[in-house]
Structure 1
Amino acid sequence: MSAPVKSEPLGRARVPVRGGAPRTFPRRVRRRTAGPWLHLAPALVVLGGLLAYPIYQLGLISLFHYTQAQVSGGEPTSFQGLGNYQRLFSDPQFWQVLSATVVFAAVCVVSTLVVGCALAVLLTRVRALPRLALMLAALGAWATPAITGSTVWLFLFDPDFGPVNRVLGLGDHSWTYGRFSAFFLVLLEVVWCSFPFVMVTVYAGIRAVPSEVLEAAALDGASQWRIWRSVLAPMLRPILVVVTIQSVIWDFKVFTQIYVMTNGGGIAGQNLVLNVYAYQQAFASSQYSLGAAIGVVMLLILLAVTLVYLRLVRRQGEEL
């Protein structure tokens, strides 16, 4: 006669375990995992409405022929499929602007991280009063609107009245005339208004590192650079991932600084980036569908860069 099957108590779940008997876990534990998602549900719904619907509309417009004639109702819209993307990818100017955007954004991100991390370490080495002055100055740069900061930097490097040319003895040299000098001027402004976020975030992470770890590294004779490279950077990697991704997104889609400081993209469009290029196509040329296609391409590029970066970090065993 076979042995009777023992039933599990009510409210418990059987979980099979390799090489042993099934383990039981209360159903209450499984229900707790859904609790945080229920609390986040209202915010997720709001964010979904604010983000998902505009992205849907952007992708939808990029599939149609949508110009000023369609906006005013003079002509009906016509479905183009991937025609706008084919037109975009066959345009040599698009690839020139894309390459310039990638290089410019990469230089901005690296420069911002270097300046922000260096000043964050400096904040841990100075006294309270200099630290407060540096923090206030950085927060002032961070709080300055982009258009205001761009105007100030234009005045500083103005060929007629700017103090920079006078100090350097450059006469009436125009920084916005040449392509590389104009990009360099915009780079300075972008780093100036972006490094405070990196500095404050990394500084908060450094303050959370146990002082015993840093003292032990110093007693072992490690230099400041070695302490940062071998001790602080690995411990701050989750924070550095966040600030890097944020910097990539911000610098890749920079618009105001380029548009204001180069007067809409520079002479003959030599300082165009993708965001300004999309603006010119959508609003200056009334090619709204082409501008939407550029926006979709930018979204996919940023999404791909973020996913690849997160994947590389997770391969190293970091928890984010």
Structure 2
Amino acid sequence: MRAGGGLARPRGGSRRSGTAPRPRRGRSGAPWLYLAPALVVLGGLLAYPIYQLGLISVFHYTQAQVSGGEPTTFEGFGNYSALFSDGQFWEVLLATVVFAAACVVSTLAVGCALAVLLTRVRAVPRLALMLAALGAWATPAITGSTVWLFLFDADFGPVNRVLGLGDHSWTYGRFSAFLLVLLEVVWCSFPFVMVTVYAGIRAVPAEVLEAAALDGASQWRIWRSVLAPMLRPILVVVTIQSVIWDFKVFTQIYVMTGGGGIAGQNLVLNVYAYQKAFASSQYSLGAAIGVVMLLILLAVTLVYLRLLRRQGEEL
């Protein structure tokens, strides 16, 4: 004891707290070792093709260069300048954005509604709906497009007969053709959303839903205020997947509108790039369109994830 009643400080000048210090966790490279095989495979499957796509987009590369008749010349951003100065490109880009947005919204609406329906029906109807949806999901795009063309055919299609439309051609008008393709895209895309959201709903504790129902909440209010916030990470995944798939639709448009519709009225960016690269042998312009599509999808995905992180969502 010191004079004055104070406690003597232990020699060495250090004070020990009552709790032991936390051990420092060093950054381990083990996760990267586990991810290394997948990263190598993805690098070979994605990085090299993207590099070649960007490389071709900055050269003058046509059929003459492919056959070796003329040397390849460096254009820099000349292909992009020619692309951005083309009025048709901006029209196709606008049509692609609007069409993809309509497909994404419709797919999410149908998929989420059917996911909720699966939780309300009995086992046998649930199994039948799941099998029907998975059958649509497993159908190749070209097969599904051909079937939908037959259903809406002006001469032999059963849809016109049921609706009493006579020989109405769904693929002649611009908006009716886009609507027909949209229906086919939603038909083959909603099963992914339905199954994923249904699995998320089943993981929600039943007590939460029962409490909301006892408080008098309607089904729409339960979905909007209870299920949707809890399922937001899952909805992020299916939304980004739908944006990527619907923005680069090719087979449905090409098959159902005959390569882009009358006078190119139903062109989207993927079909437009195909026409530039292979129909016109302007491979560099087709590659430039591909790079623009890649950058747009990357920007949309990053902005969407950033907005969700600002809201405090764990992804």
Tell me the TM-score normalised to structure 2 length. Answer: 0.93
Question: CA offset at residue 26 of structure 1?
Answer: 11
1:56-84 CA-to-partner distances (Å, cap 9, x unmatched) read 00000000000000000000000000000
Determine the C-alpha separation between the residues in 1 that align with 2:269 and 2:76.
22
- Contact 1:97–1:274 (Cα < 8 Å) also in 2: yes
Which of 116, 126, 130 is equivalent to 1:131? 126
> How far off its partner does 1:241 sit?
0.2
Query: 1:207-251 CA deviation, whole Å, 9 max, x = no partner?
Result: 000000000000000000000000000000000000000000000
Distance 1:64 1:220, change over 3 A: same
Instruction: Give distance in 2, aligned partners of 1:77 and 1:288.
Output: 12
Cα deviation, 1:168-225, whole Å, max 9, x if unaligned, reads: 0000000000000000000000000000000000000000000000000000000000
C-alpha displacement of 1:33: 3.3
Asked if structure 2 preserves the Cα contact closer than 8 Å seen for 1:105 and 1:251, the reply is yes
C-alpha spacing 1:257/1:124, structure 2 compared with 1 (3 Å): same
8 Å Cα contact 1:123-1:203 kept in structure 2: yes
Please give the secondary structure, in 2, of the residue aligned with 1:25: coil
Matched residues, percent identical? Answer: 91
| 2-structure distance, mates of 1:183, 1:141 | 20
Q: Of 53, 75, 96, which residue of structure 2 is paired with 1:80?
A: 75
Distance in 2 of aligned mates of 1:256 and 1:235: 35
d(CA) in 2 for partners of 1:272, 1:253 = 12
- Show the counterpart of 1:6: none
Task: Verify the 8 A CA contact 1:255 1:275 in the aligned structure 2.
Answer: yes
Q: Distance in 1 between matches of 2:282 and 2:235?
A: 39
1: distance between equivalents of 2:8 and 2:130?
54
Q: Distance in 2 between matches of 1:36 and 1:96?
A: 45
- List per-residue Cα deviations over 1:253-272 (Å, max 9, x = no partner): 00000000000000000000
How big is the shift at 1:155? Answer: 0.1
* Closer/same/farther in 2, CA of residues 73 and 218 from structure 1, 3 Å limit: same
Check whether the contact 1:282–1:292 (CA below 8 A) recurs between aligned residues. yes
* 1:22 paired to 2:19: no
What does residue range 116-155 of structure 1 map to in structure 2 within 5 Å?
A: 116-155=111-150
Other-structure match for 1:194: 189
Shift of 1:12: 32
Preserved contact between residue 13 and residue 26 of structure 1 (Cα < 8 Å): no
Alpha-carbon shift at residue 30 of structure 1 (Å):
4.2
C-alpha distance after superposition, 1:139-177 (max 9, x if no partner):
000000000000000000000000000000000000000
Distance 1:190 1:19, change over 3 A: farther
Q: Structure 1 runs of 4+ off > 6 angstroms? A: 11-14, 18-29
* 1:80–1:132 CA distance, 2 compared to 1 (3 A): same
Shift of 1:46: 1.1
Whole-Å Cα distance in 2 between the matches of residues 303 and 297 of structure 1?
A: 10
| The 10-residue stretch of structure 1 (285-294 or 41-50) with the greater mean CA deviation from structure 2 | 41-50
8 Å contact from structure 1 (residues 63, 83) kept in 2: yes
SS in 1 for 2:13: coil
Instruction: Indicate how the Cα distance of structure 1 residues 27 and 165 shifts in structure 2: closer, same or farther if over 3 A, else same.
Output: same
Confirm or deny: 8 A CA contact 1:282 1:290 kept in the other structure: yes
CA shift at 1:25, angstroms? 11
Which SS does the other structure have where 2:8 is aligned?
Answer: strand
2:120 & 2:211 partners in 1: Cα distance?
17
Structure 1: where are the runs of 5+ without partners? Answer: 1-10
Q: 1:13 to 1:156 in 2, by over 3 A?
A: farther
Aligned to 1:265: 260
Cα deviation per residue 1:14-33 (whole Å; 9 max; x = unaligned)? Answer: 9xxx9999999999974563
Pairwise CA distance, 1:45 = 1.0
- C-alpha separation in 2, matches of 1:278 and 1:13: 83
Structure 1 counterpart of 2:61: 66
Provide closer, same or farther for how the CA distance between residues 13 and 262 of structure 1 changes in structure 2, counting only shifts above 3 A. farther
Shift in CA distance, 214/293, structure 1 to aligned 2, threshold 3 Å: same
Unaligned runs of 5+ in 2: 1-5
Residue of structure 2 in register with 1:303 after alignment: 298
Once residues 132 and 23 of structure 2 are traced to their aligned partners in structure 1, the CA distance between those partners, rounded to angstroms, is 51
- 1:52 maps to 2:47: yes
Aligned to 2:37: 42
Work out whether residues 274 and 294 of structure 1, in 8 Å CA contact, stay in contact via their aligned partners in 2. yes
- Answer yes or no: is the 8 Å Cα contact 1:12–1:27 preserved in 2: no
Q: Distance in 2 between matches of 1:20 and 1:196?
A: 69
Between 31-40 and 124-133, report the one with greater CA deviation: 31-40
TM superposition shift of 1:49: 1.2
CA contact 1:265–1:272 (8 Å) conserved in 2: yes
Measure, in 1, the Cα distance between the counterparts of 2:216 and 2:224.
Answer: 14
